[in-house]
C-alpha cells in the first residue's frame, strides 16, 4: 500500500471515529435533557403543593423553616427525594416553571436549577442551571425587559425584570456573585467555555402569591 493510500485510509478511520463520537455525545446530551425535563415535571407539583397546601400538608412535610431572629438571608426549605428546595422560578418568555434546589453541585444540577449563592430576602440570589432546553438553555435569547418571578416556600412571589445579558469566564466567581443585582441566572454556553449570565432587578416588592392571584 502506498503512503498516499495509507494516509487516506487513516484519515477515513479518524473521520469515522470523530463522527461516531459526536453522535454519541449528541444522544447522551439528549438523554440528559429528557431526564432533566422529567425531573422538573415530577418535582414542580410537589413544591407547589407545599406552597398552596393546607396546614396539615405543611406539618407533614420535611421542612427547614426560616427563623426571623436568625440570619435574615435564610429561606424556608423543603426536602423532596433527598434534596432540599427553596421555591420555584417562573420564566413566561420561555414558558418555564422550575423548582430550585437550596444548594448546588454538579449532580444536583442534572436534576433542577440550584441556588448558587444569596437569597431573595437579601436581594442577591444567584441561580445556576444546565443549558438543557427545559432548564436554562433559552436564557441566551433574552435581550432585556423579560419578566422573571420567584415564589418561595412561604408563598411570597418576587417580581424581576431582565436588565442585562453578559458572558463571563468560568473563573469570574466574584463577578458572578458580587451582589450588585437582585437576581442572577446563569448557565454554560453550548461549548462549555463560558457562562451566559442574565442579570435582573426587582420590579416590585414581594407579595403573597394567594393575594396576587386574586
Cell of 167: 458572558
**CB distance 89 to 148 below 8 Å:** yes
Q: Determine the Cα–Cα distance for residues 54 and 43; give it in Å rounded to an integer.
A: 18
Catalytic-labelled residue, pool 114, 135, 159, 188: 188
Catalytic-labelled residue, pool 130, 135, 159, 200: 130
11 a catalytic residue = no
**CB distance 139 to 162 below 8 Å:** no
188 a catalytic residue = yes
Q: Determine the Cα–Cα distance for residues 5 and 2; give it in Å rounded to an integer.
A: 5
Residue 133: partners with Cβ closer than 8 Å, 6 or more residues away: 33, 37
Instruction: State how far the alpha carbon of 35 is from the alpha carbons of 38, 42, 187, in Å.
Output: 5, 11, 18
Where in the sequence numbering do the catalytic residues fall? Answer: 130, 188
Amino acid at each position: 500500500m502506498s503512503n498516499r493510500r495509507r494516509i487516506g485510509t487513516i484519515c477515513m478511520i479518524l473521520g469515522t471515529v470523530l463522527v461516531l463520537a459526536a453522535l454519541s455525545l449528541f444522544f447522551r446530551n439528549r438523554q440528559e435533557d429528557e431526564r432533566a425535563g422529567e425531573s422538573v415535571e415530577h418535582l414542580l407539583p410537589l413544591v407547589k403543593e407545599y406552597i398552596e397546601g393546607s396546614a396539615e400538608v405543611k406539618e407533614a412535610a420535611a421542612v427547614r423553616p426560616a427563623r426571623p431572629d436568625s440570619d435574615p438571608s435564610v429561606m424556608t426549605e423543603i426536602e423532596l427525594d433527598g434534596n432540599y428546595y427553596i421555591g420555584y422560578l417562573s420564566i413566561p418568555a420561555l414558558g418555564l416553571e422550575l423548582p430550585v434546589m437550596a444548594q448546588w453541585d454538579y449532580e444536583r444540577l442534572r436534576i433542577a436549577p440550584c441556588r448558587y449563592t444569596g437569597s431573595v430576602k437579601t436581594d442577591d440570589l444567584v441561580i445556576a442551571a444546565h443549558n438543557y432546553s427545559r432548564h436554562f438553555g433559552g436564557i441566551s435569547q433574552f435581550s432585556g425587559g423579560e419578566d422573571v418571578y420567584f415564589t418561595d416556600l412561604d408563598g411570597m412571589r418576587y417580581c424581576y425584570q431582565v436588565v442585562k445579558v453578559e458572558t463571563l469566564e468560568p473563573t469570574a466567581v466574584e463577578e458572578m456573585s458580587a451582589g450588585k443585582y437582585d437576581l442572577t441566572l446563569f448557565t454554560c454556553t453550548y461549548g462549555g467555555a463560558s457562562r451566559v449570565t442574565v442579570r435582573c432587578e426587582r420590579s416590585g416588592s414581594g407579595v403573597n402569591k394567594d393575594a396576587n392571584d386574586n
